[in-house]
């Protein structure tokens, strides 16, 4: 088992070295690495370097080399949160974001002062009294609390974003990459927490032996995501720039809203913008000469639908008309739905059933077409 861990450490070390090299010497690729992840990779590199030197027998395998990896213990969570925020909203690092790193910096200073600077005799005395073990438990409990808290904040950020985008997009947003990334991190943190709790039941060696694997696995996930973001940066751009919400006050009167409703209905019937399967609310608002908030107010107050529901209402109407035309039987329902502007079978089926009350197959079995 130790051989496997050593191989993973070497792999992570060279991967982090490669990423740092690309970040330093390839300005083009550097733009695809978020600054918070670059900082985390640097700290991970220091920790992995310590593990590699310890494995190689340098400095008589002094335990202080292993402790270098602890410097990143409270940095995982904040970096994951700020990275998730960047992917979701394209919001770059701001000066006030430094506050997220205060616990990690304080923790790192404590590790250096308490574990790395004292002499061997002092450390042995602490071990003999059991003080060291108590401090280790407190450190790992703190690491779990901070990282799990930031993981929950990242997950909440994604959920809130997905909910808000229902009113910005006419199609179902796919955030599989970021969702799977957070689920994977969450699974590792969950295993870490379970192992930590089992140590209080008298199985402390189980948690102690598994701890290096947990750390290495978490490290490899971070490195892989960063590498993948460099070679395929499009996976980190869930939205076109025009779809990012821009807020302003709406000053439309009730008469304006009534007039605009008629104009919008006429626009949808004549120009059929809903046939664009990637239609954005910003694009429809521009066609009508409105801002995003003004169009949202028009849809919510005068029509009683959000943007997603409104556009798919017209797509369902278009689908029904296409399905009633002669020769439509040679196409599948989803083939016709694509012609009507849908790009997802699940979205089409859910939208159709919500509007018509039944599935497409049941509906057309009931209707003579």
Q: Are residues 205 and 247 in the same domain?
A: no
- Shared-domain flag, residues 344 and 317: yes
| 139 and 270, same domain (yes or no) | no
pLDDT in tens, 19-66: 888 888 887 777 777 788 888 899 999 999 999 998 888 988 898 998
- Kindly report the pTM of this predicted structure: 0.80
Residue (of 16, 10, 12) closest to 40 by Cα position: 16
Number of neighbours of residue 66 by Cβ within 10 angstroms? 17
**Same domain assignment for residues 58 and 182:** yes
DSSP letters along 199-235, please?
Answer: HTTT-HHHHHHHHHHHHHHHHHHHHHHHHHHHH-GGG
- Contact call for residues 48 and 219 (beta carbons, < 8 A): yes
User: Do 68 and 211 share a domain, yes or no?
Assistant: yes
Long-range interactions of 264-273: CB distance < 8 A, separation 24+: 264/288, 264/298, 268/314, 272/314, 272/318
The reply to whether 314 and 361 lie within a common domain is: yes
Give the pair of three-digit tokens for residue 151: 């993981």
Is the same domain home to 219 and 283? no
Q: What is the CATH number of the domain that holds 256?
A: 1.10.10.60
Rg (CA), the chain: 27
For the chain, what is the domain count?
Answer: 2
Q: What pLDDT score was predicted for residue 247?
A: 43
Give the domain-ending residue among 218, 238, 258. 238
Domain containing 86 equals 2-238
The torsion region of residue 337 among left (phi > 0), alpha (psi -120 to 50) and beta comes to alpha
Domain co-membership, 214 together with 231 = yes
DSSP secondary structure, 145-162, as one string: HHHHHHHHHHHHHHHHHH
* Long-range contacts of the stretch 322-325 (C-beta < 8 A, 24+): 323/360, 323/364, 323/369, 324/369
Domain boundary among 189, 220, 238: 238
Per-residue pLDDT tens digits of the chain, which is 369 residues long: 678 888 888 889 998 998 888 888 887 777 777 788 888 899 999 999 999 998 888 988 898 998 999 999 999 999 999 999 988 887 888 889 999 999 999 999 999 999 999 999 999 999 999 999 899 989 989 999 999 999 999 999 999 988 888 778 888 777 888 898 999 999 999 998 999 999 878 787 777 788 788 888 888 888 888 877 777 776 666 666 555 555 445 578 888 889 999 999 999 999 999 999 999 998 999 999 998 888 988 998 889 899 999 999 999 999 999 998 988 888 999 999 999 999 999 999 999 998 999 999 888 887 654
DSSP 24-79: HH-HHHHTTS-HHHHHHHHHHHHHHHHHHHHHTTGGGG-HHHHHGGGGGTTTHHHH
Query: Which one of 215, 238, 261 terminates a domain?
Result: 238
Tell whether 149 and 197 lie within a shared domain.
yes
Give yes or no for a contact between 123 and 115, defined as CB atoms under 8 angstroms apart: yes
Judgement on whether residues 181 and 282 belong to the same structural domain of the protein: no
- Do 148 and 17 share a structural domain? yes
First CA to last CA across the chain, in angstroms?
67
| pLDDT (0 to 100) of residue 240 | 60
pLDDT at 244: 52
- Domain check: are 42 and 78 in the same one? yes
Please tell me the distance from the alpha carbon of residue 63 to that of residue 43, in angstroms, as a whole number. Answer: 18
Neighbours of 101 (CB within 10 A): 17
CATH number at residue 79: 1.20.1070
């Amino acid at each position: 088992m130790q051989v496997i861990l050593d191989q993973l450490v070497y792999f992570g070390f060279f991967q982090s070295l490669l990423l740092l090299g690309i970040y330093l010497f390839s300005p083009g690729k550097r733009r695809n690495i978020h600054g918070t992840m670059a900082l985390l990779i640097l700290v991970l590199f220091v920790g992995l370097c310590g593990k590699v030197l310890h494995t190689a027998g340098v400095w008589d395998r002094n335990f202080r080399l292993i402790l270098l990896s602890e410097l990143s213990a409270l940095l995982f969570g904040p970096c994951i949160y700020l990275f998730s925020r960047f992917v979701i909203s394209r919001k770059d690092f701001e000066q006030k974001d430094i506050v997220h790193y205060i616990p990690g910096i304080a923790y790192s200073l404590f590790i250096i002062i308490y574990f790395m600077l004292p002499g061997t005799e002092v450390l042995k005395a602490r071990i003999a009294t059991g003080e060291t073990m108590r401090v280790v438990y407190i450190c790992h409990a703190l690491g779990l609390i901070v990282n799990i808290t930031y993981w929950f904040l990242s997950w909440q950020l994604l959920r809130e974003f997905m909910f808000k985008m229902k009113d910005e997009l006419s199609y179902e947003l796919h955030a599989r990459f970021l969702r799977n990334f957070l689920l994977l991190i969450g699974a590792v943190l969950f295993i870490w927490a379970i192992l930590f709790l089992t140590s209080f039941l008298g199985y402390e060696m189980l948690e102690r032996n598994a701890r290096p694997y947990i750390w290495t696995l978490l490290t490899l996930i971070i490195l892989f995501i960063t590498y993948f973001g460099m070679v395929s940066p499009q996976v980190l751009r869930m939205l076109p720039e025009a779809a990012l919400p821009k807020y302003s006050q709406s000053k439309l009167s009730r008469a304006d809203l009534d007039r605009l409703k008629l104009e919008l209905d006429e626009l949808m019937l004549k120009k059929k913008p809903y046939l664009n399967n990637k239609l954005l609310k910003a694009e429809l608002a521009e066609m009508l000469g409105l801002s995003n908030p003004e169009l949202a107010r028009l849809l919510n107050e005068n029509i009683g639908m959000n943007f997603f529901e409104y556009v798919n209402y017209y797509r369902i109407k278009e689908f029904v008309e296409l399905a009633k035309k002669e020769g439509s039987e040679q196409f599948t329902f989803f083939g016709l739905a694509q012609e009507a502007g849908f790009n997802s079978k699940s979205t089409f089926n859910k939208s159709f059933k919500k509007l018509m009350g039944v599935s497409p197959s049941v509906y057309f079995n009931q209707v003579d077409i």
